[in-house]
Chain A
Amino acid sequence: MACLERASPALKEILLKLYRANKSIEIDHHLYEFGSVEYHIQSSASDEHHMYLSISTPLLSQEVLLPYGISHHTKQMITAICSDVVEIIEPAKEGYQLTLRLDFSKLPSGKDTLKVIAEISAVQAIILSSRLKEMLMNVDSHDTFQGMYKPIKLVYRPSEPFFIVRQPQKFIAVFPIHFKDKPDVIIATTFFQELMDVGSSEKWAKAPPCCWSPIPPPELRGELFEDLSTTGGFVSFEISSWHVKGKKLDKTVWSLLNFYAYVKFHVKSTRSFIQRRMRKRLEGLVELLHKRNIKEVEVEEEEEEQSRKIQGCKCMIRISNLPKPTVLKRRYNAFSRTIKRIRSRIKIQGFGRFRRRWLKMPKFSSSMGYTKLE
């Protein structure tokens, strides 16, 4: 699939590993990537300098299929990565559309090495985008020919065709949008409407004008009914000559090929964003409800405890009723006990209780005292 990254990360890692290895490694890897892309990497210990990379990928095709798979122009573009390093083997290995022989001994040194390896890892993107590049390169052509204004249907995946309509000095790329779920449709259509509004502003005057409509645009009149029945409407981009000059051609083509992938990615990430927000808000609301009621319970418990403290013991003698010397004596005793406690170095757990129970001096009755009779 035309995913958002050009270079295959797994392939790049393996190529870098092979390049950095001091001795030749025996490798026979099959890599499968999303979108029915398959790579086969072979490296033999006997052949130090060469390794073989075979690629199988669904091609961006028109209604009339190309009988010979990859075009000559595409092959030229692949060889142009680094002609010393990359050589196309004919015929390709069975089951694959393209087989390359890579000679890492001829790789340029320094930063260019990584650049070349990254471009080799992106060979699937080159194959995929070559067809569209060939079409868009002639945008400035003033030739009128039979077939102008007739939409060309490009199919990568059967459920995601898009149309290119050639017009004088511009191309129009039309993407029929289809989603199964209604929320996805609404998120996508809101996105397209916002895209239209933002695109029409002065800041983005240089970007290709974007247009969304719920009904098929006039350029697609006469197309098959199944291609024109969608749930998310139609998005059109106008590609002019300045959008495909020089290095911009690559970027424009890659953006058009990735449009469907980007829209799906946006819808998916929007749904997960909404889900995260909802969870956060739910936690906040639950906390709010329980906090209100827990606070009340805590306040009630505190009040109960305070009322118990105030109530106290009925047999307590009020200190204010005692004579002053007794009050002073009691305070001095309490103070001396505190000092002793601080100064005592040895503390035995539970000794205090033991002392109070078993070591207290017995009280002898005084001749002055009396016993109350019941």
Chain B
Amino acid sequence: MVGANTLRLYLTCIRNTLDAAMCAASAVCHLQNFPCQEVERHNKPEVELKTSPELLLNPVLICRNEAEKCLIETSINSLRISLKVKQADELENILTKKFLRFLSMRAEAFQVLRRKPVQGYDISFLITNYHCEEMQKHKLIDFIVQFMEDIDKEISELKMSEHTRQAGGYRVS
């Protein structure tokens, strides 16, 4: 019950921060197209380059506990969300690593998912102004929050089904 409450609060905090981050980037309520200041005719997500400090906003770190945290980095034309998922034991550790790596390798299916997570985190999203033009902002935020819930749920279910399969395993007599 306490765990469920803290999860709710954690997710609500992330949702509100994302909402603010996507709006704070510009006055037009979404990330805007901003060509690269250093290379002509290039358009790069500034949150990845971090070459122009004036284009970056302050990153926000939301921690549920020591093991679970979310880093939200915003810039004028892009937003990066990095998640660290809880791993209570070795089995959860390998299940989480396998699952998130599986998803990251298929990042093109998600469009907003980063192929490689930011160092120190398990999975990262990169949302650019182009994504905001194709998709609705509040729906993107809903998806990310739902994604976080689904990951937790999937890892728990995998672990539970593992234990069930093992208990019904080897019988000698």
A262 interface contact, C-beta 8 A: yes
Stretch in B17-25, B30-38, B40-48, B87-95 touching the partner: B87-95
A182 CA / B98 CA spacing, docked (Å): 12
Using Cβ atoms and an 8 Å threshold, which residues of chain A touch B94? 182-183, 186-187
Asked if B143 and A292 sit within 8 Å, CB to CB, the answer is: yes
What separation, in Å, do the CA atoms of A292 and B109 have in the docked complex?
Answer: 14
Decide: B91 and A190 in contact? CB cutoff 8 A: yes
Q: How far is the CA of A195 from the CA of B166 in the complex (A)?
A: 7
Q: How large is the interface on B (under 10, 10 to 19, 20 to 34, 35 or more residues)?
A: 35 or more
A215 interface residue, CB < 8 Å from B? no
CB nearest neighbor in B for A251: B173
* Residue B136 at the chain A interface, CB threshold 8 Å: yes
Q: Is the CB of A282 within 8 A of B109?
A: yes
| Chain B, Cβ-Cβ closest to A193 | B166
In the bound complex, do residue A292 and residue B91 qualify as a contact, i.e. CB atoms below 8 Å apart?
A: no
Q: Which residue of A lies closest to B136 (CB)?
A: A296
**Most chain B CB atoms below 10 A, which of A182, A206, A251, A277:** A277
Please report whether the interface of chain A is mostly helix, strand, loop or mixed according to DSSP: helix
Within 8 A of B (CB), among A210-264: 237, 243, 248, 251-252, 255, 259, 262
- CB contacts under 8 Å to B, within A156-207, are 182-183, 186-187, 189-191, 194-195, 198, 204, 206-207
- Check A293 for interface membership: any CB of B closer than 8 A: yes
A167 to B93, CA, bound (A): 40
Is the CB of A266 closer than 8 A to any CB of chain B? Answer: yes
Are A207 and B147 within 8 A (Cβ)? no
How distant is the Cα of A182 from the Cα of B166 in the complex, in angstroms? 18
Give residues 135-163 of B contacting A (CB, 8 Å): 135-136, 139, 142-143, 146-147, 150, 154, 157-158, 161-163
Determine if B8 is an interface residue (Cβ-Cβ < 8 Å). Answer: no
**Chain B: minimal CB distance from A136 (Å):** 13
Whether a CB of chain B sits under 8 angstroms from the CB of A319 is: no
- Across the interface, name the chain B residue whose C-beta is closest to A243: B173
Q: Is the CB of A282 within 8 A of B161?
A: no
Chain A: CB-nearest residue to B168: A198
Contact present for A277 and B167 (CB under 8 Å): no
Given A187, A194, A198, A285, which contacts B150 in the complex, CB threshold below 8 Å? A285
Residues A191 and B106 in contact in the complex (CB < 8 Å), given A248-B173, A251-B173, A277-B154: no
B110 close to A252 (CB less than 8 A):
no
Complex CA–CA separation, A99 to B139 (angstroms) = 73
In this complex, what residue of B is CB-closest to A293?
Answer: B135
Q: Does A21 interact with chain B (Cβ within 8 Å)?
A: no
A270 cross-chain contacts in B, Cβ below 8 A: 162, 165
**A-B contacts, 30 listed (Cβ < 8 Å):** A183-B98, A187-B162, A190-B166, A191-B166, A194-B163, A194-B166, A194-B169, A195-B166, A195-B170, A198-B166, A251-B172, A252-B172, A252-B173, A262-B169, A266-B166, A270-B165, A274-B95, A274-B158, A275-B102, A277-B161, A278-B98, A278-B103, A282-B109, A284-B150, A285-B147, A288-B146, A289-B111, A289-B112, A293-B135, A293-B139
6 smallest CB-CB distances across A and B, nearest first, come from: A194-B166, A292-B139, A183-B94, A278-B102, A293-B135, A255-B172
* A residues whose Cβ falls under 8 Å from a Cβ of B: 182-183, 186-187, 189-191, 194-195, 198, 204, 206-208, 237, 243, 248, 251-252, 255, 259, 262, 266, 270, 273-275, 277-278, 281-282, 284-286, 288-289, 292-293, 296
Given contacts A278-B154, A285-B103, 14 further A-B contacts (CB under 8 A): A186-B91, A190-B91, A190-B162, A190-B166, A207-B171, A207-B172, A248-B173, A266-B170, A274-B98, A277-B157, A282-B103, A285-B150, A289-B111, A289-B143
